[in-house]
Amino acid sequence: MTVNAVAAPPRPIPAARYRERLSAARDLVAERGLAALLVGVGADLRYLTGYEAMPLERLTMLVVPADGPVTLVVPRLELTPARACPAAGAGLVELLAWEETDDPVVHVGRLVRASTGRAAPAGAAAGEPIRVAVSDRLWASFLLRLQEVLPEARFGLGSAVLGQLRIVKDADEIALLRAAAHAADRVVAAIAGGRLIGRSEAEVSREVRERLLAEGHERAEFAIVASGPNSASPHHEASARVIEAGEPIVLDIGGTFGGYGSDITRTLWVTGADPVHRPYHEYLALFAVLRAAQAEATHAVRPGVPAERIDAVAREIIAAAGHGLHFIHRTGHGIGLEAHEEPYLVAGNGEPLREGMAFSVEPGIYLEGRFGARIEDIVVCTADGPDVLNQAPRDLFVVTGE
């Protein structure tokens, strides 16, 4: 197989956005009475600064205080890439480089205390504990050290501050999500149009990853190829199982493009040359229900509708067909700088959808030991209803696979 890179490169988020985001984050830190928000490597850091730091055991941490400058604490040998990140390039953050034999957590502790005007740890007598928020995915190794260095602090989650910012995507983010979706659409088309019979799931999965990269993705994050009975396991990993004629394949693939996620699922049925291997009628009936559920759930997307309502719409249709117990996961998850983020379309989440929210709509039906099916699109909530980013057809892809 030859895969040639064809995609246009992603259009980066403009520096002005980082200014807006940092300013909004600081306002929220102050509003919530926090001493500081401490952001480790990951999506929150990328959101606020554009800095794509590697997840290292060496601490990189953005300190967003209620008061005083925003500081990016970085290991000295990461100073060059840190300086080159959009927020640093635009002068929005100060850099503090620590040396290979320093304890960087002590630097962070000092910055937090500086922002509260406290020079030393406050004992019980010193009054109220200070409150600090840390990014949700900060590692325990850093959090436990911070708790030691700041014993006077109560720690909470950064999503309390950043969640409401990140959950609504701006036009630049939606453009990247759309480009990511279109790239993934093309990979689905290529896989569905290629040879499948006689290849292992793992081989096809590897081709998916190569094609995602060739389509301009920086990373191919997952490439589920679940054939035959494996299609009944929602998060099946591609295995050594060889694909045969007369069975379904659930293809659930995605990665990042300009930092933003793609995530699409389509279901294929591989026939080979012999018409005896056409889809079972039972499978076609099941798929028709799923198709209707996915379409109707998507159609229900509009501002003000509770997130759980989208889940309920899909679930009611599937349950009405007698498959309620076979739809064993929520209907969707938000997507952006992370593959799974708020809002979750799940029972119990009454949060109303807002314009600019982006999420998957992906009901599935799984008959354990036999077969399953899933359809997934990325959908943006707009004032006018759903904007479906994926364009690949949603019908069962009946292909020869030869």
Among 203, 252, 376, 377, contact with a copy of itself (rule: CB under 8 A): 203
Q: Name which of 213 and 245 has its Cβ closer to a copy of itself.
A: 213
Using DSSP, state whether 24 is helix, strand or coil: helix
Cα angle, residue 307 at apex, residues 41 and 134 outer, rounded to 5°: 25
Using the contact rule CB under 8 A, the part of the chain among 171-179, 229-237, 314-322, 381-389 near a copy of itself is: 229-237
283: tokens are 């499978």
Q: What minimum distance in Å lies between the beta carbon of 10 and a copy of itself?
A: 11
Q: What is the distance between the alpha carbons of residues 86 and 83, in angstroms, rounded to a whole number?
A: 8
Backbone angles phi, psi at 73, to 5 degrees: -90, 120
Token pair belonging to 259? 């930092």
Question: 3-state class of 72 per DSSP?
Answer: strand
376 touching a copy of itself, by CB under 8 A: no
Q: Say how many C-beta atoms besides its own lie within 10 A of residue 273's C-beta.
A: 10
Residue 59 vs residues 10, 34, 63, 117: alpha-carbon distances, Å: 29, 22, 12, 24
Q: What are the Cα distances from residue 164, in Å, to 11, 114, 214, 315, 336?
A: 24, 27, 34, 27, 13
Near a copy of itself by CB under 8 A, which window of 16-24, 28-36, 141-149, 313-321? 141-149
The distance of closest approach from Cβ of residue 393 to a copy of itself in the complex, given in angstroms and rounded to an integer, is 26
- Whether the CB-CB separation of 259 and 179 falls below 8 Å is answered with no
Nearest approach in angstroms of CB 376 to a copy of itself is: 14
Rounded to an integer, what distance in angstroms lies between the CA atom of residue 45 and that of residue 61? 8
309 binds a copy of itself (CB under 8 A): no
Residue 177 Cβ, how far from a copy of itself at the closest point, in Å?
Answer: 19
Closer CB to a copy of itself, 376 or 397, in the complex: 376
Candidates 55, 84, 56, 49; CA nearest to 70 is 49
Q: Does 213 bind a copy of itself (CB under 8 A)?
A: yes
Identify the H or E element spanning 75: strand 71-75
Interaction of residue 106 with a copy of itself, rule CB under 8 A = no
81 binds a copy of itself (CB under 8 A): yes
Minimum separation from the CB atom of position 398 to a copy of itself (A): 26
User: For a copy of itself, which is the closer residue by CB, 366 or 397?
Assistant: 366
Asked whether 58 and 182 are in contact (CB, 8 A), the reply is no
Question: In the structure encoding, which two tokens stand for residue 160, read together?
Answer: 């309390």
Give one DSSP letter per residue of 245-291, joined into a string: SSEEEEEEEEEEETTEE--EEEEEEE--S-GGGSPPHHHHHHHHHHH
Q: Is 14 in the site for a copy of itself (CB under 8 A)?
A: no
Instruction: Determine, following the binding rule CB under 8 A, whether residue 235 of this chain makes contact with a copy of itself.
Output: yes
* Binder of a copy of itself out of 19, 110, 118, 137 (CB under 8 A): 137
Binding test (CB under 8 A) with a copy of itself, winner from 49, 115, 159, 262: 159
- The residue within the footprint of a copy of itself, chosen from 16, 106, 144, 325 (CB under 8 A), is 144
Q: Is residue 350 part of the contact set for a copy of itself (CB under 8 A)? A: no
Interface with a copy of itself (CB under 8 A): 1-5, 52, 54, 56-57, 76-78, 80-81, 100-101, 134-141, 143-144, 155-157, 159, 203, 206, 209-210, 213-214, 222, 232-237, 328-330, 340-341, 346-348, 368
